[in-house]
Amino acid sequence: MWGKLLKAGVAVAVCTCSAAVTAEATDRIDPGFGGGFVETPLSRTQASEPGAPNIWDLAPVRAGFVGAIADLTTDQDVFGAVRYRRNGTLDRRFGEDGFTQPLDRRVRGEYGTAQARAIAVGRNGHIVVAGSWHEIGHPARALLARYRSDGSLDRSFGRRGIAKPRPLHRYRGEVLHDIAIGPGGRIVAVGALGEHGIGDSSRRPAAMVTAYRPDGRIDRSFGRGGRVVFPAPGGAEYTGLKAIRVLPDGRLLVAGFHYGSLIVVRLLPSGELDPSFGSGTGRVTMFVNPGPGCSRICWSSTALALRPDGRIVLLSSSFPDVPAVVQLWPNGERDWSFGRAGVLRVHVKRHVFLPFDMALQRGRILLVGWDEARRGAARLSFCAFRYLADGRLDRGFGHGGAWLHRGAEFSGAFAVLNQPRGRVVVAGGSEDKPKRSAPYESFLQLTRFLPR
C-alpha cells in the first residue's frame, strides 16, 4: 500500500505549503471530462485483496483511451487494462465492466504476482500490455499480454494470449518498462535485466531493448538474437531503459539510466546503433541529477517527447536526486539555449515533487507525479507542474506553476496522454482511509488539462 512507501524510506523531507496551494485550479482542468476529476474503484475481479492500483501508462483507442493498471508497491497482483471513453466515463462494454480479466494463476505462478508497466495499441485495435511477473523465491520475468478491442485475450498471441520470453542466461531478472508497436506490427520493448521488481536493481544490471514478432515470439533478426543489451560497467548503480518511441522512418529512440546517468540511444530498425546520432556513437550519456544517486533501491523514471522540429525533450527523475529536464537537438547535441546550460532543474519552493511522466502541451512541458507537502504531515498528492518551452516555470498554470489534487491520503499521477486540440489526460491512483477504523479505499484517478 501507499503508506508502505513512506515507511520504507521513499518519502523525503516534508515541506509546509500555504493554503493557497491546496486549492484546485479548476480553470485549467476540463469540466466536461467526468466533471473535472474522475475516480474509479478497481474492479473486484482485478485483485483478491485491497491494494493500491494505479494507471501506469495510457494509449489512445477509437473513441477513447486505455490504461495499463498496476500496484505501485508490488504487494498485489494487478495486471491488465481499463478503458475509458473520451469524456472520462468508464467504458463498461470493454472486458468485464470496463476491465480486462485478471491473469490465471498458471501464468504468474501459484504464489506469484504480475505488474503492468506499459500499454500500446496496434493498427488493428489489438491492445498489448507489458510488464513483469514475479514468483516468491524467483527473479522477475518479462510478461506480455494481447487483448482484442473488446477486452478479451487474443489467443493467437504467444501462448493463449500470453508471452513469457525466456531471460538471458547471464542475468537473473528481466522487467519491461515501455513498449511501442512499429511497422508491420513488430513490438519493441525496453527495460532492465537483472531487475527483481519495481525499483530493485541487481548488482549486475543491464539496460535492454527487445523486439517481438506480431505473434509474440522474439524477433531474432533484431540486434543479437532479438535483443540489444547495454551492460553496466559494474557495481550497483541503477541501469535500465524506461522510454521508447518509434520514429516515422522506423528508427528507435530509447532513454533510461546507465550506471546512474541519463542515457539516450537511437537505433536503426535492425537494432544497430545509429551513427548519425551522438557524434557517431549512436548514444548520448549525461550526468544531470546532481544528488547522491541510488543503488539497490531506486525509484526512477524517464520520459521523452519530440518537438515538431525534431528536438528531443527528456525527463530524468531518480529519487532522491533533484529531477531534471534536458533538451537535445535531433542529432543528440545538447540545446544550450534551454533552461540553464541545457538542463532544467525541477525544483520549486515549498514543493517536494517526484515526476513520473511528461508531455508537451502546445510547446509547454507538462510534468506529472506526486508532491509530498501537506502541513507538516507525510502525504502524497496527485500533482502536475508546467514549464514554458524555454524551461521557465509557467506561473499561469495552476497556482504559480503547480496544480495539486489532495482528496486522498496518498495519491499520484503516473501517465499522460496527448489528445486533439491541446488537451492532455493525466492518470494515476490513490489510497485513502476515510475513517480511522475503516479499511483503506483505492481508486484510479484521472483528469484532463485544457491548453492555455
- As averages over each run of 10 residues, the pLDDT of the chain (452 residues) reads 43 31 55 92 54 87 91 68 95 93 71 85 94 79 94 93 82 88 94 66 77 96 94 75 95 92 96 96 87 56 95 89 92 94 84 91 94 65 93 91 84 94 94 70 92 82
How does DSSP classify residue 154? -
Q: What are the φ/ψ torsions at residue 439 (nearest 5 degrees)?
A: -70, 165
Q: Is residue 14 part of a domain?
A: yes
Q: Residue 443 belongs to what domain range?
A: 1-30+355-452
Total domain count for the chain?
Answer: 1
Instruction: Determine the Cα–Cα distance for residues 403 and 129; give it in Å rounded to an integer.
Output: 30
Q: Is residue 277 part of a domain?
A: no
Residue 181, SS3 per DSSP: strand
What is the dihedral sign for C-alpha 226, 249, 278, 319?
A: negative
Peptide bond into 53 cis (omega under 30): no
Residue 64, SS3 per DSSP: strand
Q: pLDDT value at position 296?
A: 45
Residue 194, SS3 per DSSP: strand
Ramachandran region, residue 108 (left: φ > 0; alpha: ψ -120 to 50; beta: rest): alpha
Q: pLDDT value at position 108?
A: 64
* Strand ranges, E, within 72-186: 80-85, 112-121, 127-135, 141-147, 162-163, 174-181
* Strand ranges, E, within 96-251: 112-121, 127-135, 141-147, 162-163, 174-181, 187-197, 200-212, 227-231, 240-246
Asked if 91 and 64 touch (Cβ cutoff 8 Å), the reply is: yes
Instruction: Determine the Cα–Cα distance for residues 398 and 298; give it in Å rounded to an integer.
Output: 30
Instruction: Determine the Cα–Cα distance for residues 211 and 220; give it in Å rounded to an integer.
Output: 8
DSSP β-ladder status, 240-246 and 252-258: antiparallel
Q: pLDDT value at position 42?
A: 73
Q: pLDDT value at position 156?
A: 94
Measured CA angle at 298 (ends 378, 114), to 5 deg? 95
Q: pLDDT value at position 228?
A: 96
Residue 299, SS3 per DSSP: coil
Q: pLDDT value at position 376?
A: 52
Q: pLDDT value at position 173?
A: 81
Cell of 193: 535485466
Buried b (16+ CB within 10 A) or exposed e, 327-366: bbebebebbeebbeebbbebeeeebbbbbbbbbbbeebbb
Torsion angle, CA of 429/434/438/439, rounded to 10 degrees?
10
Q: Is residue 194 part of a domain?
A: no
Q: Is residue 12 part of a domain?
A: yes
Q: Is residue 447 part of a domain?
A: yes
Q: Is residue 433 part of a domain?
A: yes
Q: pLDDT value at position 6?
A: 43
Q: Is residue 151 part of a domain?
A: no
Q: Is residue 2 part of a domain?
A: yes
